[in-house]
Amino acid sequence: MRAVLICHNPQMSLSMGETIARVRLYGPEGVGELEALVDTGATFTKISRSLASRIGVRPKREVLTQVATGEIISRQAGTLDAEIKGVRDTIPVVIGEDDEPAVIGYTTLEILGFKINPVTRELEPTHALDY
């Protein structure tokens, strides 16, 4: 059985290097689609524990992450396929609590080949650096 979950974050105040994007997440047991904050200040993409469970994301390791308060916490991390604007690839994700907003981090942007245009706040294709 394939589960599909669609979430929508209410409109929020955005800072420089942030925008909202629709992302489709493919796990071994289902597909989720949501609108999430794209934050170039975040390393990883973060999804809720309930979404991770619903689509079958299996934690592979623990990672230390620094949250907005400056506190360093441990989070479970795994991988799944993500698709933004028709581009799909495997990305690392961390699993947050259900009351935390979903975030698309810069690792996902780099893997999928996107950047945020600072003027329009739109995701645009970009190229990888090889040096």
CATH of the domain at 79: 2.40.70.10
20 contacts: CB under 8 Å, gap ≥ 6 = 9, 12, 14, 35, 36, 37, 38
pLDDT at 43 over 90: yes
Dihedral sign from CA coordinates of 43, 49, 53, 55: negative
Residue 80 included in any domain: yes
Q: Answer left, alpha or beta for residue 68, where phi above 0 means left and psi between -120 and 50 means alpha.
A: alpha
Residue 60 included in any domain: yes
Q: What is the largest CA-CA distance in the chain?
A: 44
Residue 109 pLDDT class (50, 70, 90 cuts): very high
Residue 130 included in any domain: no
Q: What is the pLDDT of residue 2?
A: 33
**What percentage of the chain reaches a pLDDT higher than 90?**
76
Count of structural domains, the chain: 1
Residue 131 included in any domain: no
pLDDT at 5 over 70: no
Residue 108 included in any domain: yes
Structural domain span for residue 74:
3-117
Residue 128 pLDDT class (50, 70, 90 cuts): confident
Residue 91 included in any domain: yes
Distance CA 38, CA 115 (A): 10
- Residue bearing tokens 């934050």: 39
Residue 127 included in any domain: no
Residue 68 included in any domain: yes
